[in-house]
Amino acid sequence: MKFRQLGASPLRLSEIGYGASRIGDLGSVLDCEAVLEAVWDCGIRYFDTAPGYGLGLSERRLGDFLRTQERSSYVLSTKVGKILTPVGGRPSNVMPFDIAYDYSYEGVMRSFEFSMARLGLSSIDILLADDLEAPTLGRADYRRHLAKFLESGVKALDELKANGDIAAFGIGVNDVGVCLDVMQRAKLDCIMLTGRYTLIDRTAGTRLLGLCQRTATPLIVAGILNGGTLLEENAERDVSDPLAPFAKTAQEIARESGVNLASAALQFPLANSSVASALLGTTDAQRIKGLVAGIKEPIPDHVWSRFNSVALN
């Protein structure tokens, strides 16, 4: 496994990381342990989680696993902006919390403290403001929460970094416009972008990638398989999805060229020097090994040219 420097921070990320969102939904702790063991055995040493994943269960399960490893041997990121508040009346198999959005100074500090408790670890390396975007919050609430974040949330992150509690901070979103907006108004150490710099969706485009390069802001890319679409067995998708024709064409190119589509999906973002890590999120212990092995699959230039000609830009 190769490692990449996270900008000016002291952190080096495995170029393939693991997004632990779905381990919060696994019914069995043993299943979760098997997945994380397989991830570790593949050489992955960067792990991402969030309070909202499984309403705290992802952080708890990931923390339980990482406590068995040397703390200096991995990099961990989690999110701020969503506070878990206790509620009653939930089924016994669901964590008894609701989510309250808070990107203020107090909200960031509370979220950090709660995450430390759930993880049960001595430190967190990276904090990302989670889902700070209009598509998630609605336009009016986005403007309100963004103002709070820029006014005081960034100050909290700066303090945590200055005190050595974290090594880097940024935002974790699905929207390119938000990245451009926030990067012009706050100094971030990194950005995590989901589903917008992939083999079939290039809407991150030259504007964001160019800004990342000019400001030396590394990009962590999540959702590289576009929700599993770029796995060979998942060729079908909702025809109303705007990515459906692009996914279908990519499947055809891969089949005609004898190339594994998931391998191309993994290699694509990592070809850009601004990308620090690309995240996988499967909870299939056997599949993770095959996906990671795909980083070494040779893909001819003419096949890349075909993929490049049909992506959404």
> What are the structural domain ranges in the chain?
3-310
Give the CA angle between residues 134, 102, 18 to the nearest 5°: 75
Kindly report, residue by residue over 190-228, the tens digit of the pLDDT.
999 999 999 999 999 889 999 999 999 999 999 999 988
What is the Cα–Cα distance from 61 to 47, expressed in whole angstroms? Answer: 12
- pTM, whole model, 2 decimals? 0.95
As a whole-number percent, the residues of the chain with pLDDT over 90 amount to: 84
The pLDDT score that the predictor gives to residue 239 is: 62
Closest residue by Cα to residue 235 from 216, 254, 219: 254
What is the Cα–Cα distance from 121 to 71, expressed in whole angstroms? Answer: 8
8-state DSSP, 149? I
The pLDDT score that the predictor gives to residue 92 is: 63
Contacts for 78 with CB less than 8 Å, ≥ 6 apart: 48, 49, 50, 51, 59, 115, 119, 124, 126, 127, 128
In this structure, of 118-122, 125-129, 226-230, 237-241, the range with the lowest mean pLDDT score is: 237-241
Looking at 2.60.120.200, 3.30.70.2080, 3.30.70.360, 3.20.20.100, the CATH number of the domain 3-310 comes to 3.20.20.100
The pLDDT score that the predictor gives to residue 137 is: 95
Pseudo-torsion of CA 130, 263, 13, 24, nearest 10°? 40
Kindly report, residue by residue over 259-303, the tens digit of the pLDDT.
999 999 999 999 999 999 999 999 999 999 999 999 999 999 999
Residue 234 has pLDDT above 80, yes or no: no
Contacts for 32 with CB less than 8 Å, ≥ 6 apart: 23, 26, 61, 65, 283
What is the Cα–Cα distance from 280 to 274, expressed in whole angstroms? Answer: 18
Residue 235 has pLDDT above 70, yes or no: no
Q: Which residue has the higher pLDDT, 107 or 85?
A: 107
State the chain's mean pLDDT as an integer: 94
Beta carbons of 41 and 293 less than 8 angstroms apart: no
Kindly report, residue by residue over 99-123, the tens digit of the pLDDT.
999 999 999 999 999 999 999 999 9
Place of tokens 């064409």: 249
Residues designated as active site: 48, 53, 79
* pLDDT band with cut points at 50, 70 and 90 for residue 171: very high
